[in-house]
């Protein structure tokens, strides 16, 4: 895994909120937006019939919180991630979120990916959860590959949610 110093030196993350997000071997990603699912999606083998489920943004309340009932939600992170060609990213739910009865599911950040990633938040606590804008939700760690791959990520999500 890459240590904090190498993550900073290689500029893998930008548009982060503060230095407290950087851990010894990873970075806490924070919540910019949360959406509820507004319809179904479709997944096939070659993506020729893929349909990404539509969502509707949930607005933060007067004090900057959203109150979420049990269910699945889409989260968009604040941070812009730029994965080098010799690195992959893996993210794990922060223990505080787990202890509140919620978890994030996410995919692997492949070499060559860059964007403001999304993940699926699953609230299992029957009482729901309150999350404040910019809450730290996951810790992403970066793993150096034994060698650079011959091909890097070129999928449709490259550059997603970019303000650049």
94-122 as b/e: b if 16+ CB within 10 A: beebeebebbbebeebbbbbbbbbbbebe
Q: What share of the chain is helix, strand, coil (3-state, %, to 5)?
A: 10, 40, 50
The residues spanned by each domain of the chain are 4-144
CATH for 4-144, among 1.20.120.530, 2.70.40.10, 2.60.40.2310, 1.25.40.10? 2.70.40.10
Question: Which ranges of the chain have pLDDT less than 70?
Answer: 163-164
pLDDT, tens only, 84-127? 999 999 999 999 999 999 999 999 999 999 999 999 999 999 99
Q: pTM for the full model?
A: 0.92
Mean pLDDT value across the chain: 94
Give me the residues paired with residue 109 across strands: 89
Q: What is the 3-state secondary structure (H, E, C) of 79-133?
A: CEEECCCCEEEEEEECHHHHHCCEEEECCCECCCCEECCEEEEEECCCCCEEEEC
Distance CA 79, CA 30 (A): 7
């Amino acid at each position: 895994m890459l240590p904090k110093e190498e993550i900073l030196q290689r500029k893998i993350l930008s548009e982060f909120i503060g230095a407290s997000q950087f851990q010894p071997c990873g970075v806490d990603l924070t919540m910019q937006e949360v959406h509820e699912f507004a319809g179904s999606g479709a997944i096939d083998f070659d993506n020729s019939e893929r349909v990404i489920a539509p969502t509707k943004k949930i607005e933060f309340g007067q004090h900057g919180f959203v109150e979420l009932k049990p269910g699945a939600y889409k989260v968009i992170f604040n941070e812009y991630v730029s994965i080098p060609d010799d690195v992959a990213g893996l993210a794990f739910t922060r223990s505080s979120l787990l202890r509140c009865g919620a978890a994030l599911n996410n995919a692997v950040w492949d070499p060559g990916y860059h964007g403001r990633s999304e993940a699926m938040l699953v609230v299992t606590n029957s009482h729901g959860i309150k999350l404040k804008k910019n809450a730290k939700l996951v810790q992403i760690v970066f793993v150096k590959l034994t060698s650079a791959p011959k091909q890097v990520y070129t999928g449709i999500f490259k550059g997603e949610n970019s303000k650049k």
